[in-house]
Chains A and B, each alone.
Chain A
């Protein structure tokens, strides 16, 4: 999967959950070991994306980490708050 497709996937998961989809911002930061995606949402929506005890965040990660991403590096998702 490519960067473009990964972005699409993250958006597909997150957009319906939030009340301010226009405020979703996704940035890619390349580190030595990871393709790190930095996700930020409207402050009202942070809780919705993380969930109680990080339940939702964990579910989102379970899905996107299962994807076979191009290259050797693994994907990481960080939710900014």
Chain B
């Protein structure tokens, strides 16, 4: 018998349903945490599955708890603040995403849970209560990371708006420790800049600010109109052509200076190309990559 299941499905509702079936319980018996509400995307581009965590609640008499969630609030007057804060965060996390009718129910469940905790707490001594409160005030790492991820999205949106681009929306997706911010606007060209200069600037600022805010080491990518992918294939084409030339002529070729992440793409790409080896020389920001023939003739 499993107590917890992390479900992934195209929509939040489907994921919750899947999770409930996997654990073999009904919605009333579950604690549902939305980890990622997912994203619909457009014509299959940018689509992301929703991820929810479904956990079994140990208590069987949850229904009665649900019916009277308000009462404990009077008993412990200092606690509701924390509850309210939490709920705000949940709401914020769900913002700018597809409307999910399930959201309210999930929140209600969460609310009931917190309320239940209050009841237990009020029974404890005053000092004990104080300690617990302090503990709850300090954010747990995952929460801090989540807050940081959202703060960076706001930060990027604020900068782009200050660039007088009004139709901006920032979409966030996260895989492990890699967070991608997709800036969507009609004026993507302005956000990207010549040779991606502006986009790279935004990425550096976002990455830097993320390190200031987040608890874990999170890696930030900022993209607009799939620029990164487009650039990647350009860079790989360049790598192909250069490697061919090096093999044909037996001469080393230096490329123009480019940012670290693009050099990395070429190093990795040409790693599997037989007959050439790569290295970089020069000082940032003018560091450039050199492709030379592999010297294994001995």
Interface residues of A (CB under 8 A from B): 1, 5, 8-9, 12-13, 16-17, 51, 53, 55-56, 58-63, 66-67
Contact = CB atoms under 8 A, between A and B. Distances in A.
A13 B284 CA distance: 23
19 contacts: A8-B162, A9-B159, A9-B162, A12-B162, A13-B162, A17-B212, A51-B204, A51-B208, A55-B204, A56-B205, A58-B285, A59-B208, A61-B201, A62-B198, A63-B159, A63-B163, A63-B198, A63-B202, A66-B197
Interface string B189-205: 01001100110111011
A67 B193 CA distance: 10
Contacts, number: 60
A2 B236 CA distance: 40
B201 A5 contact: no
B171 interface: no
A8 B193 CA distance: 20
Interface string B143-180: 00000000100010011011110000000000000000
B284 A63 contact: no
Interface of B: 151, 155, 158-159, 161-164, 190, 193-194, 197-198, 200-202, 204-205, 208-209, 212, 284-285
B208 A5 contact: no
A66 B189 CA distance: 11
Nearest to A51: B208
B163 A67 contact: yes
A75 to B, nearest CB: 13
A33 to B, nearest CB: 21
A9 B200 CA distance: 17
A44 to B, nearest CB: 13
A59 B159 contact: no
A62 B284 contact: no
A59 B155 contact: no
Contacts of A59: 200-202, 204-205, 208
Instruction: Report which residue of B164, B204, B205 has the largest number of chain A beta carbons within 10 angstroms of its beta carbon.
Output: B205
Contacts of A63: 159, 163, 198, 201-202, 205
Contacts of B201: 58-63
Contacts of B212: 17
